[in-house]
Amino acid sequence: MGNEAKCVARIDGKNDEGKALLETSELIFRGVECRVKIKFAEMKNVEAENGELRIKTRHGTLAFAVGPAAEQWREKILHPKTRLEKLGVKPGMRVKVVGEGEAAFAKELKQSKANISKGSANTVAEMIFSFVEGRSGLAITSKIAKGLGCAAGLWIVYPKGKQEITENDVLSAGRQAGLKDVKVVSFSPTHTALKFVLPVEKR
């Protein structure tokens, strides 16, 4: 089941048809009549029954008829994955960090017991994180790609909503380096992470 579903929502006793999105830390509903955003931290109780996801907050109970996804969404809300789990980092994995990542991420990596290295872009690793703040930071993408080998992948982490660098810029840099984009993750409130891998025929 995905994290997006067309559904009918019951809000303040009224039904509204629209789309529900299950994000990393919140559920968003965009309907014809109204839009709501419910952070996981605001949810007092979450139930799934007969294809309906019911969420209780201090303002009342909202229901979303998302079908078979209801139970899975409930589990994701009650037991959200950590950032490293979403990124695929495992204990003992050789992880390479290129650029300046946030201190909180560095701490998470250390606690995960991954084998972390930092330095030149062409060092071989199982998973590589390249932190860029503008288009110029994408210039080394091709060099990083040469060190991927059979690695789990390259994550390019870049700012959200900045004209200095866009999703298309990142996609273009990865593809020009001969890589295939396979996944996108909300890295933090301010940054997005795009994952690239070597195409099967190049491994």
Instruction: Give the CATH number, domain containing residue 175.
Output: 3.40.50.150
Cβ–Cβ < 8 Å for 61, 47: no
Residues 55 and 93 in one domain: no
- pLDDT value for 102: 87
pLDDT digits (tens, 9 = 90+) for 102-132: 899 999 999 998 888 876 555 567 899 999 9
Residue 161 has pLDDT above 60, yes or no: yes
| Residue among 184, 186, 188, 132 at smallest CA distance from 153 | 184
Residue 199 has pLDDT above 90, yes or no: no
Range of the domain at 100: 83-202
Cβ–Cβ < 8 Å for 179, 196: yes
Residues 98 and 35 in one domain: no
Q: What integer is the mean pLDDT of 97-105?
A: 89
The domain boundary residue, chosen from 78, 98, 133: 78
Per-residue confidence at 1, pLDDT binned at 50, 70, 90? very low
For tokens 């003992």, what's the residue?
92
What number of other Cβ atoms are within 10 A of residue 81's Cβ? 10
Cβ–Cβ < 8 Å for 27, 63: no
Domain count, the chain: 2
pLDDT digits (tens, 9 = 90+) for 5-59: 999 999 988 999 999 999 878 999 999 999 999 999 999 999 999 999 999 999 8
**How far is the CA of 196 from the CAs of 98, 167, 199, 202, in angstroms?**
15, 13, 9, 13
- pLDDT value for 171: 97
